[in-house]
Amino acid sequence: MELLTQEQRAQSLENAMADGDQEPGCYYVGVDVGTGSVRAALVDQRGSLLAFADQAINKWEPQFNHHEQSSEDIWAACCTVTKKVVQGIDLNQIRGLGFDATCSLVVLDKQFQPLPVNHEGDSHRNIIMWLDHRAVSQVHRINNTKHSVLQYVGGVMSVEMQAPKLLWLKENLRETCWDKAGHFFDLPDFLSWKATGVTARSLCSLVCKWTYSAEKGWDDSFWKMIGLEDFVSDNYSKIGNQVLPPGASLGNGLTPEAAKDLGLPAGIAVAASLIDAHAGGLGVIGTDVRGHGLACEGQPVTSRLAVICGTSSCHMGISKDPIFVPGVWGPYFSAMVPGFWLNEGGQSVTGKLIDHMVQGHAAFPELQAKATARCQSIYAYLNSHLDLIKKAQPVGFLTVDLHVWPDFHGNRSPLADLTLKGMVTGLKLSQDLDDLAILYLATVQAIAFGTRFIIEAMEAAGHSISTLFLCGGLSKNPLFVQMHADITGMPVVLSQEVESVLVGAAILGACASGDFTSVQEAMARMSKVGRVVFPRLEDKRYYDKKYQVFLKLVEHQKEYAAIMKGD
Ligand SMILES: Nc1ncnc2c1ncn2[C@@H]1O[C@H](COP(=O)(O)OP(=O)(O)O)[C@@H](O)[C@H]1O
Ligand SMILES: O=C(CO)[C@H](O)[C@H](O)COP(=O)(O)O
Secondary structure string (H, E, C) spanning 9-48: HHHHHHHHHHCCCCCCCCEEEEEEECCCEEEEEEEECCCC
Q: What is the pTM of this model?
A: 0.95
CB-based burial, 222-244: b 16+ in 10 Å, e otherwise: bbebbebebbeeeebebbbeebb
Q: Are 70 and 127 in contact (CB under 8 A)?
A: yes
Coil vs helix vs strand at 403: strand
Find the 95 Cα to ligand 2 centroid distance in Å: 27
Phi, psi of 76 (to 5 degrees): -60, -40
Closest listed residue to residue 330, CA positions, set 546, 448, 64, 321: 321
Ligand 2 lined by 35 (C-beta under 6 Å): yes
DSSP state of 271: B
Give the integer Cα–Cα distance in Å for 264 and 258.
8
Q: Are 312 and 333 in contact (CB under 8 A)?
A: no
Instruction: List % helix, strand, coil for the chain (3-state, nearest 5).
Output: 40, 20, 40
Render each residue's pLDDT in the chain as its tens digit; 567 residues: 444 444 554 455 445 444 544 445 899 999 999 999 999 999 999 999 999 999 999 999 999 999 999 999 999 999 999 999 999 999 999 999 999 999 999 999 999 999 999 999 999 999 999 999 999 999 999 999 999 999 999 999 999 999 999 999 999 999 999 999 999 999 999 999 999 999 999 999 999 999 999 999 999 999 999 999 999 999 999 999 999 999 999 999 999 999 999 999 999 999 999 999 999 999 999 999 999 999 999 999 999 999 999 999 999 999 999 999 999 999 999 999 999 999 999 999 999 999 999 999 999 999 999 999 999 999 999 999 999 999 999 999 999 999 999 999 999 999 999 999 999 999 999 999 999 999 999 999 999 999 999 999 999 999 999 999 999 999 999 999 999 999 999 999 999 999 999 999 999 999 999 999 999 999 999 999 999 999 999 999 999 999 999 999 999 999 999 999 997
Which one of the ligands is nearest to 471 CA? 1
Positive or negative, the Cα torsion across 139, 145, 151, 155?
A: positive
Residue 13 CB-density burial (10 A; 0-12 exposed, 13-18 middle, 19+ buried): middle
- Atom of ligand 2 at shortest range from CA of 501: 13
Closest listed residue to residue 153, CA positions, set 96, 109, 219: 219
- Tell me which residues have their CB closer than 6 angstroms to ligand 1: 34-37, 310-311, 351-352, 354-355, 377, 379, 472-474, 476-477
Ligand 2 lined by 311 (C-beta under 6 Å): yes
- Atom of ligand 2 at shortest range from CA of 344: 4
Find the 31 Cα to ligand 2 centroid distance in Å: 15
Residue type, 14: E
DSSP state of 101: E
Give the number of other CB atoms < 10 A from CB of residue 333. Answer: 17
Ligand 2, from 31, 32, 33, 35: best to mutate by most atoms within 8 Å of Cβ? 35
Q: Residues 342, 199, 53, 26: what is their CA dihedral angle, to the nearest 10 degrees?
A: 80
Give the integer Cα–Cα distance in Å for 133 and 117.
13
